[in-house]
Amino acid sequence: MPVWRAVIGALAALALPVMLMAAATGDAAAIGAAGTGTRAPLDRDTLLSGTYRRSVDLSAYAPPADALPPTHRFEGRLRLSGQPSTRTLVALDGFLGPGDVAAARTLPQDIDIAFVQDGDVLVPARRGPIPGTHPWWELVVEAGRAWNEPGDAGWTRAAIPFALVQRNANCTHNGVLMLLFKSDGQVSRAAMQVSSETCHYLQLDLWGLLEAAYVPGPVAGSDALVAAHAREVAARLPVWPMSALAVDHPGINPDRFAIGAPRGRSVHGVVFEGVHYRSGCDTRHGAYPYCDAMDLPSYSLAKSAVAGIALMRMERLHPGVADLPVSDFARASGCMTARWDRVRFRHLLDMATGQHDSPAYMADEDDVRVRDFLAPDTHAQRLAFACEAYPRRDAPGTRWVYHTSDTYLLGTVLQEALRRLPGREGEDIFDDVVWAGVLGPIGLSPTARVTRRSHDAARQPLFGFGLTLLGDDIAKLARFLGTGRGRIDGRQLLDPTMFAAAMQRDPQRRGLQAATLERYRYQHGFWARDLQPELGCAGPTWVPFMSGFGGITVAMFPNGVAWYNVADDGLLASIDFAAPALEAAKLGPICSDDARAPQQP
């Protein structure tokens, strides 16, 4: 362990409990907050009877340096109602329908969340997006904090990180709630503020005071909730600031791992030698005080982390699944026509069905009629689009054309194939294969346990998008795919042939070219980029990566470095990872002629 870490550890052992709590959540604002005994923004009088006229610096939602252990206990249900003040910053008409912005400027009125308190931690009974009646938003709630402040006259104060996630989509707006409470059920109003998002086409500030009701009472499975949360926190990768890279590895410039405009970034990080080096979670109004709990959308990262893993896992367990005919497993008349002859499951994952309107890069996916696939609530409507939308133009497996509908159809036929197996008639492809077989065992959070689904009895996983992730989830995924080589404790979880191809470890199988992009390939749900010119390599150097809408990239370099960036401005500067690759090469060779990917310990 570097000396500077040992010194920090010694100092932390002498610090106040609240400072330890803040450090555990990545809460630098809490550690540095002034402790005057009376706070200015969001003080007791404001929460009980005052006004909240404008957004404040988010450090107001963090414990101050003079915070005390909580004297009251919260166990029961928190119910919220009311509407915030709002300010629209970006609203792109090409992605929004009539009334969408107006709906997004309101909050759900059926918010009802159960919490159990463990010391100074508030553990929610439910994680991941919670469906409700609101036409635009679903709510995600993360573990919060409770503490006392000298100026609160005996009340205990609670702060709860949350996110608003677009229904049927992935736009994610992070915020914090804060309220005062007492064990007997007394509660103030709840302050709330949203000052950041990962959403290309709709960016909002929301702030205000909501009406709150606290209904004390036992929470079912409270001991299990507390124990599970403690295990989750203990299993997170160690997190150090990006600046620590230069200390641990002299000669590295951490700034080179930050790409694009700061206003577009939510967070970025590097995973190397078991350490998660992470940036701050900056917002329009200061640092987000609970960076460990910031919810991040997957968008099309799910095409890799759900669809790719699903087919490779099924092929590992049941060889031959990847070559099953789509028409035998898709229960829709449109998939039983001649256009689907010779189309196999693997062609769906590779987006190489031979069916399309235009082979130009993203032309079909960006066409307005894709709304007919994205907007419906029901599985039948989405399945009909996936089976019928495009004419047959090429032989299967010969041309790549990007279609999220192909990935959705893969989830559908995999679900059917799974349920035809003896004893697995009622199982779910996400719950019982992807989560139980891979994502759960590698330690992803309960937030990632929930995938978006059709809003009907079928509850079909969307597959091509729809996960909500924490930064630790992204780091663990990258480690599993990179240095982990798809293994846990030496046990291979994914089909080795498909996985080697997806990770560009088989030089004979690079995948199909992505339209006219000569140095990009797509295979088994994963992208790859040839970095030979940027790195000055002697030959082609293909680096696999995952990509999500707006500017989300996770690259697994062959020298054991993983890098990610979560952004939403949709600009090339926010997805071009040449500069991070050059810096990562200082930590070990990346060029294909001399790189050797290390094994995970």
Report the alpha-carbon angle 84-570-91, nearest 5.
35
Is the pLDDT score of 223 beyond 70? Answer: yes
Main-chain phi, psi angles of 273, to 5 degrees: 50, 40
Q: How confident is the model at residue 595, as a pLDDT?
A: 44
What's the whole-model pTM score? 0.92
Q: How confident is the model at residue 37 (pLDDT cuts 50, 70, 90)?
A: low
Q: How confident is the model at residue 1, as a pLDDT?
A: 37
**DSSP state, residue 588:** S
Residues 544 and 597 in one domain: yes
Q: How confident is the model at residue 38 (pLDDT cuts 50, 70, 90)?
A: confident
Question: Regarding beta strands 239-241 and 275-278, do their DSSP bridges make them parallel or antiparallel, or are they unpaired?
Answer: parallel
For 134-191, give the DSSP string.
Answer: -SSEEEEE--EEEEE-GGGTTPEEEEEEEEEEETTS--EEEEEEEEEE-TTS-B--EE
Segment 19-41 shows an average pLDDT of: 46
Residues 143 and 200 in one domain: yes
Rounded Cα distance between 265 and 196, Å, is 10
Residues 61 and 140 in one domain: yes
Exposed, middle or buried by CB within 10 Å (0-12, 13-18, 19+), for 363?
A: middle
3-state secondary structure of 35: coil
Is the pLDDT score of 5 beyond 50? Answer: no
Q: How confident is the model at residue 592, as a pLDDT?
A: 79
Within a domain: 459:
no
* pLDDT tens by residue, 106-136: 999 999 999 999 999 999 999 999 989 999 9
**Are 107 and 84 contacting, i.e. CB atoms less than 8 angstroms apart?**
yes
Q: Which residues contact 40 (CB under 8 A, 6 or more apart)?
A: none
* pLDDT tens by residue, 574-587: 999 999 999 999 99
Residues 248 and 395 in one domain: no
At 356, which amino acid appears? H
Residues 221 and 244 in one domain: no
Is the pLDDT score of 327 beyond 80? Answer: yes
* pLDDT tens by residue, 379-395: 999 999 999 999 999 99
Tokens of 25: 């959540």
Q: Which of 296-300, 487-491, 509-513, 596-600 has the lowest mean pLDDT?
A: 596-600
In this structure, what is the dihedral angle of CA atoms 101, 105, 110, 116, given to the nearest 10 degrees? Answer: 120
Within a domain: 194:
yes
Q: How confident is the model at residue 504, as a pLDDT?
A: 97
Residue 404: domain span: 303-439
Q: How confident is the model at residue 39 (pLDDT cuts 50, 70, 90)?
A: confident
Q: Which residues contact 220 (CB under 8 A, 6 or more apart)?
A: 125
* pLDDT tens by residue, 447-504: 999 999 999 999 999 999 999 999 999 999 999 999 999 999 999 999 999 999 999 9
Residues 106 and 203 in one domain: yes
Q: How confident is the model at residue 200, as a pLDDT?
A: 97
How far is the CA of 131 from the CAs of 26, 165, 197, 474, 512, in angstroms? 29, 10, 19, 24, 38
Within a domain: 310:
yes
- Of 182, 201, 227, the position where a domain reaches its end is 227
- Of 185, 203, 227, the position where a domain reaches its end is 227
Q: How confident is the model at residue 594 (pLDDT cuts 50, 70, 90)?
A: low
Report the alpha-carbon angle 537-542-545, nearest 5.
130
Residues 223 and 336 in one domain: no
Q: How confident is the model at residue 371, as a pLDDT?
A: 92
Segment 525-532 shows an average pLDDT of: 98
Q: How confident is the model at residue 340 (pLDDT cuts 50, 70, 90)?
A: very high
Within a domain: 445:
no
Within a domain: 457:
no
Residues 207 and 267 in one domain: no
**Are 280 and 32 contacting, i.e. CB atoms less than 8 angstroms apart?**
no
Within a domain: 416:
yes
Within a domain: 390:
yes
Residues 290 and 308 in one domain: no
Is the pLDDT score of 23 beyond 80? Answer: no
Residues 240 and 185 in one domain: no
Domain with residue 345: its CATH number is: 3.40.710.10
Within a domain: 465:
no
Bridge partners (DSSP) listed for residue 192: 177, 208
How many structural domains is the chain composed of? Answer: 3
Residues 142 and 29 in one domain: yes
**Which among 361, 349, 271 is positioned nearest to 314, based on CA atoms?**
349
Share of the chain above pLDDT 70, in %: 92
Residues 354 and 482 in one domain: no
Q: Which of 3-17, 54-68, 289-303, 416-430 has the lowest mean pLDDT?
A: 3-17
Segment 507-520 shows an average pLDDT of: 96
How far is the CA of 326 from the CAs of 88, 380, 396, 431, in angstroms? 44, 16, 12, 22
Bridge partners (DSSP) listed for residue 166: 137
Q: How confident is the model at residue 35 (pLDDT cuts 50, 70, 90)?
A: very low
